[in-house]
A = this chain, B = another copy of it.
Amino acid sequence: MTNVTLKVEGMSCGHCVSAVEKAVTGAGANGSVDLAAGKVTVSYDEKKVSLDTIKQAIEEQGYDIA
């Protein structure tokens, strides 16, 4: 598994945490959100999903990745 921490802008509340986590899960990865820090740590299998796909799923929920 590969672990990457992304800086995600625009997460403001618990609903945002859920939306981002669902996006990451939906892309076939696992995500852990640190709301206060504005960071999302994603854990994924590079053979199954690309980081770009995960990033895109987060962005599609309306959040920007710095």
Interface residues of A (CB under 8 A from B): 10, 12-16, 18-19, 62
Contact = CB atoms under 8 A, between A and B. Distances in A.
A19 B18 CA distance: 13
Contacts of A19: 15
A13 B14 CA distance: 10
Name which of A12, A19, A62 has the most chain B CB atoms within 10 A of its CB.
Answer: A12
Contacts of A62: 14
Identify the 4 closest CB pairs spanning chains A and B, nearest first.
A15-B15, A12-B12, A12-B13, A13-B13
Name which of A10, A13, A14, A62 has the most chain B CB atoms within 10 A of its CB.
Answer: A13
Contacts of A10: 13
